């Protein structure tokens, strides 16, 4: 949902001089620094010293500096990247578990293309010392083998019954390949020509998910039975004993077990509750959560040259440890695998992003930095987030909702709606809450979620409240309901709308004078009389488009995203003459817009949260604007925190002598940025912490102060080196 938290700070009278016609449009969108992380399924440290990680939603990232910064790979068109292997010819293969077969990269993970085994769910891929490759599948329960770096494959083994292959590992000490399956464990001592079923002591263990070997060749097989069990073999798999981890793992319900790592004299297990570590090779255990912002651990990778352990995490992204798992550091800079489905500002202009499978993130500096805030959340299928005017934050999931009363620091589960998807959340002017349930009905609470009443027996897809307190609910059937009595009674208010098209979003302009409704397949409509009548505003670009989300900067400047397309359109005339303004953005599928008090528009996308200032749009008629503000205004610097430079914007409504100075926290003047007569207008000035011979600032809080005539304003800026 898009709202102005503060009254629009810049009220402009614009004189527009038209110079030349042009046939293109352009934006100045900037990707914010998050939310980072995402559902990372796999991680590997290669012989080329790169770290590569794959995500649940089909993105691959690579790092050239041990995870300090990440870059997104190109041409990845499949989901669920679960394993990697380096071939002898220098190429890299990725196993994909969503019918994508095997993908290949020949440039160190930067670009990828289809390699082989199309339509197979490949869950494991491994290489033996002779360069032979093995791929285990779940779709057909095959083990495939390739002797030419993965260009051609033959079936090496077929397992009958419901017996998916979960992991393949080669024991270099004994020269044996092992296959972990849903019910059985197999081994091959002749490079996959023959496979032997192992039963002594392990039998039909439930869901054997992973195998690893210690430095002595002992084998550890992890099973998900009874919440997590580990079997040990000291004779190359001839016999097995259950290490009886129930005394440790049984303390945490459904601890899960996704990966095992044996390094030096330690054994580490990836669980849904953090990293379980044993210092005596499995005799006793402790759970390590130090530094793990999210506890769902999926995969390990170990770099012996730097003694670094990497973990792929379900929400936080990638963490590393250099002390055998005792402590962890988040390393997800640039790793943007978080799909931001909904955005909401609170009264202090903290921005919250609901990310599917990645929880809730917040930013207190306009997207410059983001923090994962999930303490108390137990369901991570985030669909929506909403900050109320009395400082509640609510996030809706596919299994109810969670409430925070301290800006997301802690959460508790809300009453009711178990098993239901809380799709949209809204609050009216009297503080009543409204929930739209996916595929269900529409509810209101007058007591902050303690009790709920069904108000509309239809699938409500969108909700909005105007400045008069009227409430609008758009339905899956293409109707719009309206309430003028705080949600007590509802009636149709959709004259002029094209019927039958889902109302995907409803947004109200900050002035409250204009309401916009996005439809599935019939573009966008608007009403200037509180929904009494609607007119088509799609002409000039949005005809027959499925408008999923709408961003309203003011009565005239509108953004619209198209459902399941990488397209954002913009108009500056309140509808009509829509221009495509998402050039330079990629894989966005924008699901939400939000606006801050400075007029910056934020887009929640599949790739990240982006932002733009609407007056940076260059339309199809190239223009230059001379802006005269009606008020004085000093903007918050951006970025903030900053290093080493930041931009300060200000506006003055009449000619005056202007000074703009920076002070340290003790009041000592650092520098003067402006000290001259200025005509009325809007200005930007850059401030650098590197002042040459004059000054060089340390990290800390500084003050900048604008004086223009009788107008004075001050704001804080933060230097963070």
**Whether 502 contacts 492, CB under 8 Å:** no
Question: Reduced to 3 states, what is the DSSP secondary structure of residue 506?
Answer: strand
* Structure-token pair, residue 696: 């060089």
User: In the chain, which residues have pLDDT < 70?
Assistant: 1-27, 77, 139-140, 159-162, 203-205, 226-227, 245-256, 586-587, 614-631, 666, 710
Q: What's residue 649's pLDDT?
A: 86
Q: What's residue 503's pLDDT?
A: 96
Say how many C-beta atoms besides its own lie within 10 A of residue 191's C-beta.
17
Q: Is 139 exposed, middle or buried (0-12, 13-18, 19+ CB in 10 A)?
A: middle
The DSSP letter of residue 381 is: B
Q: What's residue 692's pLDDT?
A: 74
How far is it, in rounded angstroms, from Cα 652 to Cα 683? 9
Spans of all domains in the chain:
1-32+502-534+545-630, 37-330, 633-719
* Structure-token pair, residue 473: 């609910």
Domains 37-330 and 633-719 share a fold: no
- List own/partner pairs for 96-103 with CB under 8 A and 24 or more apart: 96/58, 96/121, 96/122, 97/41, 97/121, 97/122, 97/123, 97/138, 98/58, 99/139, 100/58, 102/135, 102/150, 103/76, 103/78
The DSSP letter of residue 616 is: G
Whole-number Cα distances in Å, 691 to 134, 193, 636, 647, 662 = 59, 70, 21, 15, 12
Q: What's residue 249's pLDDT?
A: 52
Dihedral angle of Cα 136, 139, 140, 145, to the nearest 10 degrees: -30
Q: What's residue 336's pLDDT?
A: 82
Whole-number Cα distances in Å, 52 to 42, 270, 311, 329, 479 = 8, 18, 11, 17, 48
Whole-number Cα distances in Å, 120 to 76, 102, 182, 254, 376 = 16, 8, 17, 29, 38
The DSSP letter of residue 635 is: P
Q: What's residue 534's pLDDT?
A: 96
Q: What's residue 687's pLDDT?
A: 92
709: Cβ–Cβ under 8 A, 6 or more apart, which residues? 654, 656, 657
* Structure-token pair, residue 670: 């650092």
Q: What's residue 545's pLDDT?
A: 92
CATH of 37-330, one of 2.170.120.12, 2.130.10.10, 3.30.70.100, 3.40.190.10: 2.130.10.10
Q: Does CATH place domain 633-719 in 2.40.50.140?
A: no
**Whether 360 contacts 374, CB under 8 Å:** yes
Question: Reduced to 3 states, what is the DSSP secondary structure of residue 652?
Answer: strand
- Dmax over Cα atoms in the chain, in whole Å? 90
């Amino acid at each position: 949902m898009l709202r102005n938290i503060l009254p629009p700070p810049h009220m402009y009278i614009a004189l527009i001089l038209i110079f030349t016609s042009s046939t293109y449009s352009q934006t100045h969108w900037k990707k914010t620094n998050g939310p980072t992380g995402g559902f990372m399924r796999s991680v590997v440290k290669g012989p080329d010293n790169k770290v590569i990680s794959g995500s649940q939603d089909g993105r691959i990232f690579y790092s050239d500096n041990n995870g300090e910064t990440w870059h997104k790979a190109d041409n990845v068109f499949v989901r669920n990247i679960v394993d990697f292997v380096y071939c002898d010819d220098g190429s890299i293969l990725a196993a994909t578990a969503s019918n994508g077969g095997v993908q290949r990269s020949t440039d160190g993970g930067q670009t990828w293309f289809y390699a082989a085994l199309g339509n197979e769910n490949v869950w494991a891929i491994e290489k033996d010392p002779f360069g032979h490759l093995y791929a285990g599948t779940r779709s057909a329960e095959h083990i495939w083998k390739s002797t030419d770096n993965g260009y051609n494959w033959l079936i090496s083994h077929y397992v009958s019954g419901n017996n998916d292959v979960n992991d393949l590992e080669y024991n270099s000490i004994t020269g044996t390949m092992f296959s972990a399956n849903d019910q059985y464990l197999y081994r091959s001592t002749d490079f996959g020509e023959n496979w032997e079923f192992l039963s002594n002591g392990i039998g039909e263990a439930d869901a054997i998910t992973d195998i690893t070997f210690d430095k002595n060749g002992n084998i550890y097989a992890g099973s998900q039975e009874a919440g997590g069990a580990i079997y040990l073999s000291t004779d190359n798999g001839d016999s097995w004993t259950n290490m009886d981890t129930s005394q440790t793992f049984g303390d945490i319900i459904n601890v899960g077990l996704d990966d095992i790592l044996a390094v030096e004299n330690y054994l580490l297990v990836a669980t849904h509750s953090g990293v379980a570590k044993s210092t005596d090779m499995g005799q006793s255990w402790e759970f390590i959560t130090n530094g793990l912002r999210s506890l769902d651990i999926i995969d390990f990778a170990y770099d012996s040259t730097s003694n670094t352990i990497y973990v792929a995490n379900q929400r936080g992204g990638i963490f590393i440890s250099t002390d055998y798992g005792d402590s962890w550091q988040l390393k997800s800079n640039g790793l943007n695998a978080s799909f931001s489905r909904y955005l909401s500002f609170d009264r202090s202009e903290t921005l919250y992003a609901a990310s599917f499978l990645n929880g809730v993130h917040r930013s207190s500096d306009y997207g410059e930095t983001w923090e994962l805030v999930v303490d108390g959340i137990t369901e991570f299928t985030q669909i929506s987030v909403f900050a109320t005017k009395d400082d509640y934050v609510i996030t809706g999931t596919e299994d109810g909702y969670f409430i925070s009363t301290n800006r997301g620091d802690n959460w508790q589960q809300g009453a009711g709606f178990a098993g239901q998807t809380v799709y949209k959340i809204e609050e009216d002017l009297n503080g009543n809450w409204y929930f739209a349930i996916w595929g269900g009905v529409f509810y209101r609470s007058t007591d902050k979620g303690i009790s709920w009443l069904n108000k509309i027996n239809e699938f409500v897809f969108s909700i909005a409240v105007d400045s008069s307190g009227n409430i609008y609910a758009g339905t899956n059937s293409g109707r719009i309901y309206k309430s003028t009595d705080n949600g007590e009674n509802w009636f149709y208010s959709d004259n002029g709308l094209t019927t039958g098209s889902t109302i995907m979003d409803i947004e109200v302009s900050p002035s409250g004078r204009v309401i916009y409704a996005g439809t599935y397949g019939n573009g966008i409509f608007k009403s200037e009389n509180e929904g009494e009548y609607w007119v088509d505003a799609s002409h000039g670009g949005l005809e027959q488009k499925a408008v999923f989300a709408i961003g309203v900067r003011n009565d005239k400047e509108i953004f619209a995203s198209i459902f399941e397309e990488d397209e954002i359109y913009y108009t500056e005339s309140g509808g009509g003459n829509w221009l495509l303004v998402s050039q330079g953005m990629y894989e966005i599928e924008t699901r939400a817009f939000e606006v801050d008090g400075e007029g910056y528009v934020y887009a929640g996308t599949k790739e990240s949260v982006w932002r733009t200032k609407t007056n940076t749009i260059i339309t199809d008629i190239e223009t230059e604007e001379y802006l005269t503000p009606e008020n004085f205004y000093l903007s918050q610097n951006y970025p903030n925190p900053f290093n080493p430079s930041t931009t300060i914007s200000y506006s003055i409504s009449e000619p005056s002598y202007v000074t703009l100075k920076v002070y340290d926290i003790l009041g000592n003047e650092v520098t003067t940025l402006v000290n001259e007569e200025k005509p009325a207008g809007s200005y930007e000035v850059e401030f650098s912490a590197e002042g040459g011979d004059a000054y060089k600032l340390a990290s800390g809080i500084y003050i900048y102060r604008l004086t223009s005539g009788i107008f004075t304003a001050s704001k804080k800026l933060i230097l963070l080196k």
